Amino acid sequence: MSIDWTALGEVTAVSIGVTFAVVVVFSLGVLGLDRREGARERGGTSAVGAAQAGLCFLACAAVVAYGIYLIVPQFH
Amino acid sequence: MDHITFLVAVVIVTALAFDFTNGFHDTANAMATSIATGALKPKTAVLISGVLNLAGAFLSTEVAKTISGGIVNDAKVTPAMIFAGLVGAILWNLVTWLVGLPSSSSHALFGGLIGAVWVGAGSGAVNFDKVLEKIIIPAFASPVVAGVAALVATYCAYKLTARGRADSVTKGFRLGQIGSASLVSLAHGTNDAQKTMGIITLTLISVGALPGDAGPPVWVIFSAGLAIALGTYIGGWRIIRTMGKGLTEIQSPQGFAAETASTAVILTSAHMGFALSTTQVASGSILGAGLGRRLAEVRWGIAGRMVAAWLITLPCAALVGGISAAAVKHGGNFGTVVVALVGAALAAGIVLLSRRNPIDAKNVNDGHEVAIRSTPPSHVGTAA
């Protein structure tokens, strides 16, 4: 019997890394959205907030697209 | 179609029945946290999950080439053993659903098969090395990995968004949850529906109804996809309540972190060729997300019972599978009919018992005092 510890380690590292990255980026996106809404309530606009939210959510969408790519074997 | 004997027909129906229980047992994995945080309405959540499971069944053409991934010797497996194994898996899934415990449908299936093959073809036909490598080790590792990932991510999400206003933060993460939960459902459909398709296809091949290298016929893909999607849509509300409300109070950042962790673990390990239980990964993520916010929030009593259920799932399903296999082996078609009738009667009994304390879309989020019965009902216990 051979247990592939390297593969197990890779799964661990990649899973934790990806989760951490996605959640942090998404949190930043949520903060950007929050800043934009805050500015709007005060009657102004926050281009920085909107850009931050847009970029972060785009990055998350890219990760989701890659996830779908992994799920569907026809794409490989 | 004269290849389709009575036994083969029974195997196909039983396999679809298992697929159905697999669906409603596992709705919780993808949707429990989204329902608990209000990201999706309960009915909407199970509808999305059902549709994505059906889509997943059609998307993946990579059907399991072996019934069990080498855990049992496929050459020695007969339709009768598959039938016996499926009965074990279905009954165990129903018992754990009745008590609201998220246990692994894959382990139930493997357990049932191991028991049936052990009785039917001797212990030599079970590859215990593979059992350790493919089931036991991932079973311990995957919930821990998912839990650690969710813990770290939850902690950071709260730290980062602490200066944001609570309502817009909650709203943002709720939207994110819809995406992450959908991805879990899709991944589930491509994995679990495949198992049933593989079983039906290999049964048909074993009796000569299909050539040896055939893929699943369209009607097999469609019926398996439909069975799992229907099961998902009916929704295992008891298990959803345990996972969404029982283990810990879930807020939307936690839900998002937990679902992201589940997706990451499921996809990376599927890519590396590890078979693992979606249920255990999702439960580990939820516990991690609970710890990431506040240690005291996790209800360890319920978590402990859940882990206990994980440990006994495989042996219990194996026991039922073994008993059924003995009946089928010695009783032939008559034995098969008896096992099928007894199995159906027990299943009906469990469903009737569940009526005493119904949980559905309306009360799935009520209260957080989840009463989980620690002992299965006696008549089920004696049969198992």
Q: CB-based contact (8 Å) between B153 and chain A? A: yes
Closest residue to B137, CB basis, from A3, A24, A34: A3
The answer to whether residues B189 and B221 touch, using CB atoms and an 8 Å cutoff, is no
Going residue by residue through chain B (384 aa), what tens digit of pLDDT does each one get?
Answer: 556 788 888 889 999 999 999 888 888 888 888 888 888 898 899 999 999 988 888 876 565 566 666 777 777 788 888 889 899 999 988 888 888 888 888 888 888 988 998 898 888 888 888 788 777 888 888 899 999 999 999 999 888 888 888 888 888 899 899 988 998 888 888 777 888 888 888 788 877 777 777 778 888 888 989 999 999 888 788 888 888 888 888 888 999 999 999 989 988 887 776 767 888 898 899 888 888 887 657 788 888 888 888 888 888 888 988 888 888 888 878 888 888 888 888 888 888 888 877 777 777 777 545 444 444 444 444 333
Q: CB-based contact (8 Å) between B12 and chain A? A: no
The model's pTM is 0.84
- Contacts with B44 (C-beta within 8 Å, 6 or more apart), sequence order: none
What does the pLDDT look like over A10-44, one tens digit per residue?
A: 888 999 999 999 999 999 999 888 888 888 888 87
The answer to whether residues B321 and B112 touch, using CB atoms and an 8 Å cutoff, is yes
Of the candidates B118, B20, B111, B108, the residue with the CA atom closest to the CA atom of residue B73:
B118
CA dist B199 and B206 (Å) reads 10
Measured between beta carbons, which residues in chain B are less than 8 angstroms from residue A5? Answer: none
Backbone angles phi, psi at B338, to 5 degrees: -60, -45
Q: CB-based contact (8 Å) between A58 and chain B? A: no
The answer to whether residues B198 and B20 touch, using CB atoms and an 8 Å cutoff, is no
Query: B221, B267, B280, B293: best mutation site toward chain A, by most A Cβ within 10 Å?
Result: B267
ipTM, interface predicted TM-score of the complex: 0.90
The answer to whether residues B174 and B38 touch, using CB atoms and an 8 Å cutoff, is yes
B169 with A8: Cβ contact below 8 A: no
CA dist B372 and B95 (Å) reads 12
Q: CB-based contact (8 Å) between A50 and chain B? A: no
CA dist B173 and A22 (Å) reads 12
Q: Which residues of B159-188 are buried (b: 16+ CB within 10 A; e: fewer)?
A: ebbeebeeebbbbbbbebbbbbbbbbbbbb
